[in-house]
Amino acid sequence: MYIKIVLLFVGLTFFSACGAANTTPKAPARAAVHAADKSWKNAAPADNASYFYALGFGKTENEAKKDALGVISSNVSVDIASNFTNTVTATRQGDDEMLLSDAKNEVISKSKNIEYTNVEILQSDNSNGEWSVLVQVDRKILTASYQRKLDSVDERLKSEYKIYRSASPAQKLKVSVTIEKYLKQTDTIFPLLHAFNPYYDATSYTARYAEYTDAIRASKRDVVYKIQADENSQTLATLIRSELSAKDATFSNSNYNVLISITTKAKKKKYASTNEKFAKLTFALRKTEIISAKRDGTVISRALYKTKEGSSKGFKDALQRTTKYKKKIKEKGITAFISGN
């Protein structure tokens, strides 16, 4: 009897111990989240060939994460500014200092909005209502993500250039707008790829993209414009001519191969307002159509713009104002503005 009691006691003790072992909580995925040592908050590790690192702070963990990624983006922008001349983007622009400067500024601006993937929070802490995080970004994964973006745009470029090569001079003008749009997209991608991977090899693109750019510039030199406009579109016609002239365009009223026709319909409008200055304004609600055509009348492109301009000098003055047109030209470029692409 005594022996049975002893065995029963030993058995219960064994199973109790096993049960206790099975209910022990697992260590958290981020073991250092609540660690007493918070020296990691003093400085992020230096970036290396495999990863970007940064500290971030905010009212929430997600806000702190965004702050950290903003730091990485700023560092990438600095890298791009320092090494821009070594990219395909700079090579295809040639020696045109103005184009290089514009391209560089746009790339640096857009590089602040990097689309991050596979971001890992290595450390996290919430003290006194403020979150602190240490993030790690895998450069290889980031490079692969942007390479896929480049591959997608590059396929479209190849397709458009194939159409371009067999097009007439006038048709090339239209196709060139699409090619320039895609090239502009790659202008942002290449510097980022070089920043993500210092050993990134872009030699397979360099000569081809320079060829695209040179071909488009040559085709623009082959185009001879004639511009005609109705009474409501005179100032816009002058603006378009000025913008094209800045691109070294050629004009002729007799030996042209592209005719740009501009027509504008407008309605007069005044608005009641407690603001005395606004109430005195007269507005022109305009609908402007720009048609580009070959000499034989074949339409190349058609663009339609609805704009509104106001003036204290009356309807005619409002009708001829070009502020809204200038804004659109700045956003799209003059060729894209004319074609409506």
Please report, as a single letter, which amino acid is at residue 166.
Answer: S
Could you tell me where in the chain the CATH 3.10.28.20 domains are found?
A: 42-222
Evaluate if residue 144 carries a pLDDT over 70.
yes
274 Cβ contact partners less than 8 Å away, ≥ 6 residues apart? none
- pTM for the predicted model, two decimal places: 0.68
Q: How far, in Å, CA of 265 to CA of 267, rounded?
A: 7
Task: Tell me what pLDDT residue 29 has.
Answer: 44
Q: How far, in Å, CA of 195 to CA of 216, rounded?
A: 28
Q: pLDDT band at residue 95, thresholds of 50, 70 and 90?
A: low
pLDDT in tens, 279-310: 899 999 999 999 999 989 999 899 999 999 99
Could you tell me where in the chain the CATH 3.40.50.10610 domains are found?
A: 223-339
Task: Tell me what pLDDT residue 99 has.
Answer: 66
Evaluate if residue 237 carries a pLDDT over 50.
yes
Q: pLDDT band at residue 20, thresholds of 50, 70 and 90?
A: very low
Kindly state the average pLDDT of the residues 203-226.
88
Nearest to 338 by CA among 229, 264, 261: 261
Q: pLDDT band at residue 324, thresholds of 50, 70 and 90?
A: very high
pLDDT in tens, 108-133: 777 778 999 889 999 999 998 899 99
Task: Tell me what pLDDT residue 184 has.
Answer: 86
CB atoms within 10 A of CB 144: 14
Q: pLDDT band at residue 2, thresholds of 50, 70 and 90?
A: very low
Task: Tell me what pLDDT residue 234 has.
Answer: 96
Enter the CATH code of domain 42-222.
Answer: 3.10.28.20
Kindly state the average pLDDT of the residues 36-47.
88
Task: Tell me what pLDDT residue 113 has.
Answer: 85
Query: 310 φ, ψ to 5°?
Result: -120, 150
Enter the CATH code of domain 223-339.
Answer: 3.40.50.10610
